[in-house]
Amino acid sequence: MTRQPHGTAAPGALVEEITALGPFFAVTIHPAGAPPAEPWRPMSTGLLAERAAAVRGYLAAAGGQPASAVEPRVAASVAHLGLAARLASPALAAAVLHGRPLGYDLDAVRWQPALGGPVPLSLPDDALHQPQPDFTRLADTVAALLLAGPLAELAARVAQSGVSPHILLGNTASAVNGAATALAAARPELGARARAFTDLLLQRPPLRPQSARTTGGAFLRRSCCLIYRSAPDRKGALCGDCALRTAPGTPVPHSGG
């Protein structure tokens, strides 16, 4: 078992440390239970549908097409992947940096649904839980609080847009792996810890069937986020971790996050 630091950092200091990792990790905190104040908005079902519609227009414009050319489920999947990455990234950082899981309901999240980059994100001030003594316990706790919590809630709400659960679980696995890759890039000395912890998460339900490794050891999801279908004639490039990838190519970024 890998021993963890005891997470003595105060919540404010930990948030600053996480935010310093980059825009996909950046968070602010707000009082738990407080009503949202402009420009913050709750991450609710209506806003998720609104977000998918905005991403649909964004993807269509990128391909020089009308919005009607992009399937609604494609836009919903891409929107989901970006939001899952935003929720997963700070949680992974808190776990790897200080052995502390984040736990909260999706309704407690506040965000600003801007396009073209990582959305601003605010979490309730009671989201940070006590540190766990080792990676195994930590992975179990994060799986229960994050994977089966707000990430499962997010996927369930996006599924109402017609995206299959298989794709949504693949998006979640890809988001978790992407967070580890970004953390390793920001803090190379933590790369091995980030990868070890992420491997433990990917081995736990519901993500266990959703990922594999290439012969070179790279992460490979077992589904496709569908973004290639947003390009003209549905012939866009595949993401680097896509299950449909059979030959090297140019990965496309996950837009709409």
Lowest mean pLDDT among 57-66, 111-120, 124-133, 212-221: 212-221
pLDDT value at residue 212:
79
Element spanning 57, H or E? helix 45-62
pLDDT value at residue 46:
86
SS3 30: strand
Residues with Cβ within 8 Å of residue 191, at least 6 apart in sequence:
183, 184
Per-residue pLDDT band for 9 (boundaries 50, 70, 90) equals low
Residues with Cβ within 8 Å of residue 189, at least 6 apart in sequence:
none
Distance (Å, whole) CA 106 – CA 167: 20
- Over residues 114-163, the pLDDT tens digits come to 888 889 999 999 999 999 989 999 999 999 999 999 999 999 999 999 99
Q: Which of 168, 194, 134, 171 is nearest to 3 (CA)?
A: 134
Looking at every residue in the chain, the average pLDDT score rounds to: 89
- Over residues 76-113, the pLDDT tens digits come to 999 999 999 999 999 999 999 999 999 999 999 999 98
pLDDT value at residue 142:
97
Distance (Å, whole) CA 118 – CA 207: 23
